[in-house]
Every structure is written in C-alpha cells, then in structure tokens.
A and B are shown apart, each in its own frame.
Chain A
Amino acid sequence: MSTLRTEEMTLNMGPQHPSTHGVLRFVVRADGEVMREAIPDVGYLHRSIEKIAEKVGYRGFMPYTDRVDYVCAMFTNQGWGMVCEKLAGIEVPKRGEYCRVIAAEFNRIASHLLSVGAMAMDIGAMTPFAHVIREREMINDLIEELCGARLTFNYMRIGGVAWDLPPGWREKALKYLDHFDPILEEYNALISWNKIYIERLANVGVITPADAINYNLVGPNLRACGIKWDIRKDIPYSVYPEFEFEVPVGNGQWGKLGDSMDRYVVRIREMAESSKILRQALEKIPPGAVLAKVVRNFKPPAGECQIRVESGRGDMGWYLVSDGTGYPWRVHVRTGSFAAMGIIQKLSAGLMIADLVTLIASLDVIAPEIDR
C-alpha cells in the first residue's frame, strides 16, 4: 500500500475574521491542522496618528490619543498628558491625579472585561460575553456621566482632567463596586474554572520569561510569565504609591508557566486589584482643583523625554520630541499590542490552527493599537 501524499497548505486568515479583534491578517502555512508558521500582516488600521500630532499641536492632539487604543482610551489620554507635563515640568493637582486614577482604573476593568469575554467567545462560549458586556455597559454609563463619552473619552487634559466628579458620582461608583466584586466570582464560576475551558487554554502558546523580555512583551502578558513587573508599582507615577494593591503573576497552575490560561487568570485577578484601588481612591480623594493652570498656547521647552504608563495592555511608552514651538516635532507611541504581534510568528510553529485564535485572544491584541 502506498503512503498518503501530504503537502503544505497556505491559508489566509483575515483581514475580516471574527476572531482577529479588528482588522488583522495572517498568512498561515499549515501541514493539515498543524501550523508551521503564521505570518502576521498588519497596517490595515494605520491612521498616521503620529503624523497628525505634528500638525494639530499639543492640546489638539488629546482627542486623537483616544483612537490609539479605543478600548482603554483613558490610558492613552493619561500617557499624552504625562509626557507633556514631564517635559514642561507641570504638576497636576492632587485631586486631578485622583480623578485620573479613578477613571483609568474603571477603564482597566472595562478593558479586561472585554478581553476575557472576547477570549471566551473566540473559543466558542457565547454566554460569558453577554455577561461581561452587561458589566462593561454599567462602567460605560459611569464614565459617560463623568466625561460625556462612552468609548473615546477625551477626559484628561495637559495638567489634569477636564471635569471634576459630578455630584453623587462617588456613591454610584462605590455602589457599582459592591455589585461588581461578587459578579467576578459569578463569572469565574461560569467560565474560568470550567474544565473544557481550561483544557482549551492550558499549555497553549507557552512563552518563556526570557522570550517575554527579549520580545518586549508588557503588562499582563509579561506578568503571566511569572515576572512581577507593573509600572504602577515599579516606576510609580501619579498617586499609585498611596494605594495598596497586589501585582498578580502567572504560576503555571493549570499547565506550563506562561501559557494562555496564565494570561487569562492574570487579567481576572487584575480586575479584583483595580476594584481595590478604586475603593481606596474613592475613599481618600482630597478636595481641591482638578486642573493645573496651563497657558492656552502650550509650548514645552525644546527637548525630549519618554514616559511609561501601565495601560490595560501593559506598559505603553510615549516618546516626545519638542522643538519649542506649539507643535510637537515627533511623537512616538510604543504599544503593548505591537510587541505582542511580533512574537506570534515564533509561537505559532507547531500549534493547531484553532489554537491561533486562542493565542491572539490571550495576548489581548487590539488592532488599532498595533497600527496607530
């Protein structure tokens, strides 16, 4: 009997594919169901945001930063604010910093909710997505009351935030947190500890700690490899040193250290930590102004600097070069999704095609953040 003939297939996945979280494309070289390589093709959502910054000036750029990563726009707002403040030496009033932390941590919960929900949906569990979207809508309602927008917030300004907390908002926020903490338990019971779900995630897309650093993975993806590193703790900014919170790391409890399940669980645990930070911040928020006095025609001195902010997708680096005029000379954003996409080609070798979907979801890649 002659042996069966085999040959390598080239498959196209995307750019329109339900599980690619935006417009992404992969060229997959596969042998049956096992991939030899998945080559990412990005750039479909490139809107030249860095070029726009050179044309619209410092203040005018703030609404554009929302579009860098629309799932956690508070952090891109904050990054742009912080890099301008660092270069110009502006100090944000204490209450302004608290407002930033509160808005940002709510946004982190919303972002992680979407991430874990979409991950379940990509794997085939539809129901959890409806649950997380329900919770995320409530956070969106709160943020809408705060700044008038549900997705692209444009809440922060150079020197602080645009508006103070509205009357009665603090109580609403605390009430929501009381509701949210048990929901997290409910969600875990619904999907996280489901045996089928764990089997789909454990041991898939294992990243070693050395690779994670070499490929510059950041945020939850880095922490899932067991590296205890959080910009909020390790290079403290804003008022984060005033809060007590843990930095969850992966431990390989369900499979190997740094697998997809570790990345998933780190996000779940981070939501609980964000809730802790929010309670403390809402409790301790001092009275006072929320916005420093910044001249209308903002011109930082000539020079350059970089800041790092811990966004939902991890350490986001903002690099700004100023020539002393009212327009930035160069702005560069280094985002977590961009780095995460860079490692997919390496990780994909030997994975099943169905696991590529798991891998993309577990790295929490957001397409606009890759392409900017």
Chain B
Amino acid sequence: MEALQILERVKNRFGDRVLEISEKKPDPFAVIDPNAIVEVGRFMNEDPELAMDCLSNESGVDYKDRVEVVYHLFSYQHRHGAVLKVKLPRDNPSVATLEGVWKSANWMEREIFDLLGVNFEGHSDMRRILMPEDWIGHPLRRISSSRPNTTESQRSGRAR
C-alpha cells in the first residue's frame, strides 16, 4: 500500500484520534493523539492488511514550541512503510512506550529520553544510554534552561 492509503486506513479506524494527516512530499505522516499511540501501534502491527512488523526508526525532534516523537514503521511482509508522529508539550513531555509492541523501541526510546528528555511511561528500563549518568539537561533540546556540557561532578568542581 502507498503511505497515504495506510494513513487513511488508520484514520478510518481511529477517527478523530488521528489529529492530522500531512500529505506533504516526500514523506507524508499522520499526527496521532499521544493517548492513543499504543492502541494505534498495536492495530498497525496486528492488522493483516498493514502488518507493520518492524519499528524501523524512532526519533525525537525539538521544535521550540513542542517536542515531537517520530515513528517510522515498516512491514517486511507487505514491503510498505508509514510515518507517525505525536506532539508533546515542551515541559515534561511524556508518552506511553511502544516497547510492548516492538522490542526495538526499548533502546531507541532510551536514546530519546537521554537526548531530548521525553519520558516514556511504562518503559522497562528508562535510564540514560549515551550521556553520563549524572549529566544535567538533555543535549538535543534547542534552548536548555540549565547550562549544558556539564555533569553534576564537574559542576561541583570535582574532577571526574
């Protein structure tokens, strides 16, 4: 199926919980209600016509007024893919984890948590993955309230 057809099918199933479908080329995407993302994910994974068996990429983007989590889904069975997004507030962004549907979400969500500060509810292992454990802030945030480039111990004057 074409990406737009896939998104239409999701729209038909979930109605107004699909907030917006962008047809902009080259990659169209659908914006999903953050409260419905697990349900939508599970439907796309289990529906035989879509059969999205792989979460090929999950990444986060900070737009100064919101934080988006972007899901690139792919089906090895039907060889098609689609892009979903959720828009979250910049203060304490939080969305349910998709780890229960696709295992690959585990590490990618840890990375988004680490670099962008999105909390994934229900995640089995929500720790920093790339930055040091005592890092302050989230480096891929566009404007950081706390001074970046430091860890707790560096800031308190002790060498690491």
Chain A residues with CB under 8 Å of chain B are: 42-43, 46, 48, 50-51, 86-87, 211, 213-216, 227, 229, 234-235, 303-306, 308, 315, 317, 319, 321, 329-330, 332, 334, 338-339, 341-343, 346, 371-372
On whether the beta carbons of B76 and A43 are closer than 8 Å, the reply is no
CA–CA, A306 and B61, complex, Å: 14
Cα-based distance from A211 to B54 in the complex (angstroms):
10
**Contacting pair A317 B57 (CB below 8 A):** yes
A330 to B61, Cβ gap below 8 A? yes
Contact present for A305 and B26 (CB under 8 Å): yes
Q: When chains A and B are docked, how far (Å) is the Cα of A215 from the Cα of B105?
A: 8
B139 at the interface (CB under 8 A from A): yes
Q: Within 8 Å of chain A (Cβ to Cβ): is B158?
A: no
- 5 more contacts with CB within 8 A, not counting A214-B53, A339-B107, A346-B103, are A43-B131, A43-B132, A216-B55, A306-B27, A329-B63
User: In the complex the two chains form, what is the Cα distance from A348 to B72 in whole Å?
Assistant: 28
B4 close to A (CB within 8 Å): no
Rounded to whole Å, the gap between the CB of B158 and the closest CB of chain A is 20
Question: Nearest 5 A-B pairs (CB), nearest first?
Answer: A216-B104, A332-B59, A43-B130, A342-B107, A46-B130
Closest B residue by C-beta to A331: B59
Q: Which residue of the partner chain A has the closest CB to B114? A: A43
Flag if A303 contacts B107 (CB, 8 Å): no
B140 at the interface (CB under 8 A from A): yes
Residues of A within 8 A of B63 (CB): 329
Q: Which range contains the number of B residues in contact with the other chain?
A: 20 to 34
8 Å CB interface, B83-129 against A: 83, 102-104, 106-108, 111, 115, 128-129
Closest chain-B Cβ to A11's Cβ sits at a distance in Å of 20
Interface residues of B (CB under 8 A from A): 24-27, 53-57, 59, 61-63, 70, 72, 76, 79, 83, 102-104, 106-108, 111, 115, 128-132, 139-140
Structural contact, A319 and B57, CB atoms closer than 8 A: yes
Q: How far is the CB of B21 from the nearest CB of chain A, in Å?
A: 15
How many whole Å from A305's CB to the nearest CB in chain B? 5
Instruction: List, sorted by A's number, 9 A–B pairs whose CB atoms are closer than 8 Å.
Output: A213-B54, A227-B76, A303-B25, A304-B27, A305-B27, A306-B27, A315-B56, A317-B72, A334-B59
